[in-house]
Amino acid sequence: MKEFDVVIIGSGPGGYICAVRCAQLGLKTAIIEKYNTLGGTCLNVGCIPSKAWLDSSEKYHELTHSFSEHGIHVKDASFDFLKMSARVQKVVTDVSAGISFLMKKNKITVFNGLGTFTDANTILIKNTKGDETITGKKIVIATGSKPTSLPGVVIDKKRIITSTEALSLKEVPKKLIVIGGGVIGLELTSVFKRLGSEVTVIEYADSIIAMMDAELGKNLHKLFVKDGVKFLLGHGVTAVESIGNLVKVKAKDKSSEKIIEIEGDYCLVAVGRRPYTDGLLLENAGVKLDDRGRIETNNYLQTNVPHIYALGDVVKGAMLAHKAEEEGVFVAEVICGQKPHIDYNLIPGVVYTWPEVSSVGLSEEQLKKEGKEYKVGSFPFKASGRARASNEADGFVKVLADKKTDEILGVHMIGPRVADMIAEAVVAMEYRASAEDIARISHAHPTYSEAFKEACLSATDNRALNM
Amino acid sequence: MSLELKIPVIGESVTEVTLSSWMKKDGEYVNEGESVCEIESDKASMELPAPSSGILKILAKAGDELKIGAIIGELDTSAAKPVNQPSIEKTVNAPVIVESKTDKKVEIPSPAAKKILDEKNISAAAVSGTGKDGRITKEDAVNAKAEAVEVTKIATSNGNRQKRNEKMTRLRKTIASKLVEAKNTTAMLTTFNEVDMFALMELRKKYKDTFKEKHGVGLGFMSFFTKACAVAIKDFPSVNAQINGDEIIFHNYVDMGIAVSTPKGLVVPVVRNAETLSLAQIEKEILGLATKARDGKISMDEMSGGTFSITNGGVFGSMLSTPILNIPQSAILGMHNIVERPVAINGQVVIRPIMYLALSYDHRIIDGRESVSFLKKVKELIEDPSRLLLDI
């Protein structure tokens, strides 16, 4: 029986990062992965392939929609869906190989198979080639999450699908019905809309990306509508039915109670994800779940069994790859007696639509609820020279700062490349910068990032220079 | 009309102060002379009075580090006074020492610095940041030292063993760095002697009531020592001199620093031109300054510019000590307790009230001959006070 200092179950961004950090800190480390490839949801059926699709579809969309404004005319533009899909798969394969390399480089032992607790220190790994049992002084559960469905809606994985299937379809849906106006639903809406699908998004809340600052959702909604995406906001789906090549979805208007029925050839269910602990046999280790099926952890991401830790989507908090990565490093360092720290308020959120949406810190709605006095600085990309030059003038940057101290409390962006731009806001907030601090830092011209500086100027004293 | 409130010039060496707290609110009507805020400098903390009556607009935050001349607020002097607010009589405009409050400045560690501090078990409040706005950089955290906490390893005690971290006041920080600077930058050493206090005590016993009656102050020993030092300095001027770069500054006057212990720490008010003062005048000066210092009402000017200092550890019962120079001064006399000791006089062992004297001096400009002779001279003057009268 092989013995390890740390055994990590799950090789997603939380798990594999945790393994690398453990190895860096000198621990004898093992990682267990149920699937054949490392990287978890993020790499195989999440962040990476969706970004690959978004990029390919965006290029086609530009070719057919915005190139002409630049004076570039293309006759008979077309795309090969299967080739696009193959490229996406190659991206996934390459990145996964990169993780395998990282495991080798850091001398981390990789076990393929389903890890199951036999007791609190022992894990049985079930594999078609035979079972193996290993022990760990410390164990880290990083098993992630799976897409969920609505009550009564059965995912058949053919016509009624989740994001996992949507990323490897064999054809472009003609009429796609997306249930859920959150990040995943909208990113895939973007992909298929650009490739020619007619898309209807059904959302129970009255706005899309409802967890972000309301102004972002409002703006993004407007831009989607302009692109021809249909929305049924404030509608609850009551039934989804697949008949042959047809999908029928019934949705009830929350206010009028009127039931609408729409038809499509595919229905994407993107209503959220649930923590995934199936098959772990946590009861053998005595690890407790909370009332929402997540592994219960304390501030050190320690479960009720002190030597077992858990992180990422399987515990409380935002289901984001970069949150899991931070937790991976955190747990490895805690195991080694260090005292790391994560500020969960400063985990940025990003939506890879085009324009992109990103945010960090508190929204105006949260600030109002907390009764905090704040000031708002906003800068539209319309006034940015860089955005003008690229014909990307949609969107804005909004900075919320403490009314008294000028400390930045929240930054909300929608516009070109704001997924990358949000990093500056996170750095600023980690150092508790004031809006004026940013306003006094040189930003290269002409860049999109100037918009953040201008919004900070506007928040400081309403003194944006280019507006 | 609006009047700017600025940090005033408070002493020759003070370039920066901390705004400890606002005593008036933003938008509040303040009367001329009323204290609006409290500032703390390296040397003391003080209240700033409003130069005129008006409505206060606050522009600087409590905790801000400010340069002399920095604008901290505005007074709208055209504003009418609210009817229900009584006018307060003009108070003294001079800055006065007040009890220092705890420093309210928020210390902000960077993410890496926070981890390092947490691991060292050092509170961010105990580290002074060198980053922007006092932010604690990684370097600050790496350099931060925890208080000696070896005690935790002697884990057998069952008693209550709490530790308390308290931020140093500016005054304490200044004292600390001045003392270390004195140790590090001078060639300091100490010479000792003993003085027979018999004659002086007899003199005092004989005249103290008459003295008190005439001058209204008690006749203490400090005035004699001050006088004796001032006289001795005339013979050994280097004891009263200072090094300034490549030059030596000699003073033709003696500004005598008298160390006074206050609740906030040691302060050293200065008796000006001690060489010209009578014993009674010296006693009055000392009494006045010491009272102000203990009440926390002494001004910066009254504490700066001394040329020589006397410290009396004897009041706390010290037998012998080596005082540290009050730089840039070059010498300091240490007085100690008076103890009856057997001494040999003319071949006879007799009991005499003896005080040990210590003179710490900067050997760079005071030679051994001078320091020892100076101290001997002081001893002679005290042992035979009539010499003071005869100037011999």
Q: Give the Å distances, CA to CA, from B194 to B257, B343, B350, B368.
A: 22, 11, 15, 17
Query: What Rg do the C-alpha atoms of chain A give, in angstroms?
Result: 23
Quickly state the pLDDT bin for B43 (edges 50, 70, 90). low
Rounded mean pLDDT of chain B? 84
Structure tokens of A63? 């070719």
What's residue B157's pLDDT? 57
Greater model confidence, A309 or B149 = A309
Among A2-11, A419-428, B165-174, where is mean pLDDT lowest? B165-174
Contact indicator for B109, B125 with CB cutoff of 8 Å: no
Interchain pair A431, B118: CB under 8 A? no
Query: Which residues lie below 8 Å from residue A457, measured CB to CB, with a gap of 6+?
Result: A377, A435, A439, A463, A464, A465
Whole-Å CA distances, A305 to A2, A14, A134, A138, A288:
22, 20, 18, 10, 8
Interface test with B, best of A338, A429, A431 (most B CBs within 10 A): A431
Q: Is B104 on the interface with A (CB under 8 A)?
A: no
Buried b / exposed e over A204-243, threshold 16 CB at 10 Å, is bbebbbeebbebbbebbbebbeebebebbbbbbbbebbbe
Q: Is A339 on the interface with B (CB under 8 A)?
A: yes
Return the pLDDT at B95: 41
Q: Which residue of A has its CA nearest to B58?
A: A404
Structure-derived torsion over alpha carbons of residues B255, B261, B267, B272, reported in degrees to the nearest 10: -20
Grouping H, G, I as helix, E, B as strand and the rest as coil, residue A313 is helix
From A96-105, B45-54, B229-238, the region with the lowest mean pLDDT:
B45-54
pLDDT bucket at B153, cuts 50 / 70 / 90 = very low
Q: Which of A341, A405, A437 sits opposite B111 (nearest CB)?
A: A341
Residue in chain A nearest B106 by alpha carbon: A432
**Is there a contact between B108 and A432 if contact means CB atoms under 8 Å apart?**
yes
Give the long-range contacts of residues A218-223, CB within 8 A, separation 24 or more: A219/A394, A219/A395, A219/A396, A219/A414, A220/A186, A220/A351, A220/A353, A220/A355, A220/A357, A220/A414, A223/A355, A223/A394
Q: Cβ B135–A431 below 8 Å, yes or no?
A: yes
Residue A128, burial from CB neighbour count under 10 angstroms (0-12, 13-18, 19+): exposed
The whole-number pLDDT of residue A47 equals 94
Question: Minimum mean pLDDT among A398-402, A457-461, B161-165, B269-273: which range?
Answer: B161-165
The candidate with the shortest Cα–Cα distance to B364, out of B193, B232, B185, is B185
Phi/psi-derived region of residue A289, left when phi > 0, alpha when psi is between -120 and 50, beta in every other case: beta
Confidence of residue B106 (pLDDT cuts 50, 70, 90): low
Q: Return the residue of A nearest to B62 by Cα.
A: A405
Give the per-residue pLDDT at B149.
46
> Nearest CA of chain B to the CA of A341: how many Å?
7
**Count of CB atoms situated within 10 Å of the CB of B167:** 17
Cα(A351)–Cα(A452) distance, rounded to whole angstroms?
18
Residue recorded with tokens 């929240």 = A410
Q: What is the pLDDT of residue B142?
A: 86
> Which pLDDT tens digit goes with each residue over B326-363?
989 999 999 999 999 999 989 999 999 999 999 999 99
**Chain A to chain B, count of Cβ pairs less than 8 Å apart?**
21
- Residue B304's pLDDT is 84
Q: List the structure tokens of A301.
A: 């991401």
Contact B115 A431 (CB under 8 A): no
Active site residue ranges of B:
363, 367
Distance, in angstroms, between A345 CA and closest chain B CA? Answer: 14
Chain A CB contacts of B118 under 8 Å are: 339, 341
By DSSP bridging, strand A122-126 and strand A132-141 are: antiparallel
For chain B, say whether A347 makes contact (Cβ under 8 Å).
no
More confident residue, B67 or B264: B67
Residue-wise pLDDT tens digits, A214-269: 999 999 999 999 999 999 999 999 999 999 999 999 999 999 999 999 999 999 99
Mean pLDDT for A105-117 is: 96
Predicted confidence at residue A241, as pLDDT, reads 95
Q: What is the mean pLDDT of residues A123-140?
A: 94
Does the structure show a pLDDT above 50 at B103? no
Q: For residue B370, what are the CA distances in angstroms to A429, B244, B307, B312, B364?
A: 63, 20, 17, 22, 12
Q: Is B59 on the interface with A (CB under 8 A)?
A: no
Cis peptide before A355, with omega less than 30 degrees from 0? Answer: yes
- Say if B153 is an interface residue toward chain A (CB within 8 Å): no
Over the stretch B61-96, which tens digit does the pLDDT of each residue have?
Answer: 887 888 888 888 888 888 777 665 444 443 334 444
What mean pLDDT do residues B364-389 have?
Answer: 93
Res B156 pLDDT > 60: no
Q: CA nearest A336 in B: which residue? A: B119
Q: Which of B59, B119, B122, B138 to mutate to test the interface with A (most CBs of A within 10 A)?
A: B119
Mutate to test the interface with A, among B118, B130, B136 (most CBs of A within 10 A): B118
pLDDT at B99: 36
Given the residues A235, A322, A443, A445, select the one marked as catalytic. A445
Judge whether residue B158 has pLDDT over 90.
no
> Does pLDDT of B147 surpass 80?
no
Whether residue B105 is predicted with pLDDT greater than 70 in this model: the reply is: no
Residues B219, B222, B227, B229, Cα dihedral to 10°: 160
The rounded percent of chain A whose pLDDT value lies above 90 is 96
Tokens of A133: 């049992």
Task: Write down the pLDDT at residue B131.
Answer: 82
- In percent, the amount of chain B with pLDDT more than 70 equals 89
Is the CB of B132 less than 8 angstroms away from the CB of A430?
no
